Amino acid sequence: MLVRGVALSLAVCWHSSEAAIINVTTNDTYAKIEGANPGDQVFIAPGTYAFRVYLTKQATPTNRIVIAALDSSNPPVWDFGTTLVENAPGSYTAGDRGRGGWQFSGAQNYNLSGIIFRHCRTATFNSAGIRYYNGTTNLYVKDCVFTLNDNGLTGGTQYSEATVEFCEFNANGNTNASLSSPTHNIYVYGGLLTMRYCYVHDSVQGENFHIRCQNSTLEYNWFARANNYEGDLMSDDDFSGAGPFAQAMTLRGNIFVENSLPGNHSQVVALYNDAGLTNLTLSLQMIYNTFVGVNTNSAFVHVSNATGTQMNAEISDNIIYATKTPVLIEDTNAATVTGFNNWIQTNATAGSLTGSVQSASPGFNNPAAKDYTLVNGSVCIGAANAAVLGPPGREYFQNEILNGRWRIRPTARDLGAFGSANTNLPVGPYDPAPLPQLGIVRAGPNVVVSWPLFAQDFQLYESDLGNPITWSLAPYPYVTNATGVFETLPMSASRAFFRLKK
């Protein structure tokens, strides 16, 4: 049997024979951007822009609409100054035109990168740098900065989907908004959301992230100093009928740095059915995060289910520093909270969390300089239990100064967001993604094929030796542990070539 390991990246081509290159300068209007069709690439020159953009085109995954800064080192700035967004020039004239400097309505397969959004405000205090809604799907936002807006990013409907990477959200919020409808750095009220490698900090009124999605994954981000508390999962605005309903959030490999004087110092991340929706289950997976607290009684996870809403949480392999309350459950009869191998301080109460590592200090390298990597000899090194769904293969890089990057994490053996002794180089928003390599060893009558944890979203394909070669998904069981992904194949299999593919 001939076995060869080949690592392939996912190549996505957005070329079309009719695609156009559209150059936008400060002398142009919204019409040039809004007129882009599937396959077109829009490049926006440096400068300050103050018109609204309303995007509705439906492209395809292989023929996307790309909108990018002409020079990512000198990005264009959408700054409305003291002008309310609804009063700025723009094609969209409906009553909600002020809800976002850029709005994506029913749009599909847009890529947006390298833009600064500033001073997006409306008379009703609920504008945003970007608002996406009305079933917008496959929206990809990269290397954008959102600052001094009512909300940084908002939107999401029941079937919407967005991925946000390498972005910064800073000082978004509006204290003129009511406390019953506060503003946040990020407020997404439905659909699916994935956010990675972002620096989200210093919200002005509410949380750093306020999420109502059906499913959300926030991984390898740095969250810091939210005005109220760091974030939450609350009931989806779009649910209707009798249910049952379910919402799930994964928080993986994030750093949380608590505000010294938060508005709500009782919690860090909360689950709450604020709408009182019946037949709802809220679930949280919180793994390999590092929390640096200030208020010694802040609940790292608050299961706020006093109304009897069923809530589930897995809390494992985290560093939960400077709080005595890893988890707070209001109604234990309506909650299933499990977890293992977290670091908690000596006087903390573990509750339902098992296998906790307790000591006076987790062993950070230089917490005064916000260096929360692990010093040699830290009790957190080698203390993780990787028997969780989706152990981390990446980590945020590096801190609040050099931010919005990631690097490969060699193993998931250590607690918290950072692996020890990691010397891998960082990956930025415009760097080529590293390629995973296949490893192959013989194990008795079998062959074991392996690949690294950072490529858990790749799958193994096998081929025959025909002409032409036919590829198919390898139908063999695989396991994931602290060092990688492993798939065992019989030596007698007739297939001969293997490759990884997203």
- Domain residues of the chain, as ranges? 230-435, 439-501
Residue bearing tokens 């309303």: 54
Percent share of the chain, pLDDT over 70: 96
The residue ranking higher by pLDDT, 74 or 18, is 74
**Residue 491 backbone zone (phi > 0: left; psi -120 to 50: alpha; other: beta):** alpha
- pLDDT on residue 6: 36
Is the confidence at residue 4, as pLDDT, over 70?
no
Lookup: tokens for 388: 């969780």
What is the distance between the alpha carbons of residues 404 and 475, in angstroms, rounded to a whole number?
Answer: 37
Mean pLDDT (whole number) for 133-160: 97
Instruction: Find out whether 136 and 160 touch, Cβ atoms under 8 Å.
Output: yes
- pLDDT on residue 362: 99
Is the confidence at residue 13, as pLDDT, over 50?
no
Is the confidence at residue 465, as pLDDT, over 90?
no
Give the helix/strand (H/E) hosting 32. Answer: helix 30-34
Lookup: tokens for 238: 């779009």
As separate numbers, helices (DSSP H) first and strands (DSSP E) second, the chain gives: 1, 46
What is the distance between the alpha carbons of residues 303 and 305, in angstroms, rounded to a whole number?
Answer: 6
What is the distance between the alpha carbons of residues 179 and 363, in angstroms, rounded to a whole number?
Answer: 39
- pLDDT on residue 491: 83
Is the confidence at residue 85, as pLDDT, over 60?
yes
33 phi and psi angles, rounded to 5 deg: -70, -45
pLDDT band at 40 (very low <50, low <70, confident <90, very high): very high
Mean pLDDT (whole number) for 245-252: 99
Least confident of 213-222, 269-278, 318-327, 486-495: 486-495
- The rounded mean pLDDT for the chain is 95
- pLDDT on residue 15: 46
Is the confidence at residue 218, as pLDDT, over 70?
yes
Residues sharing a CB contact under 8 Å with residue 180, sequence separation 6 or more, in sequence order: none
The tens digit of pLDDT for each residue in 305-323 reads 999 999 999 999 999 999 9
Mean pLDDT (whole number) for 213-230: 99
Mean pLDDT (whole number) for 155-164: 94
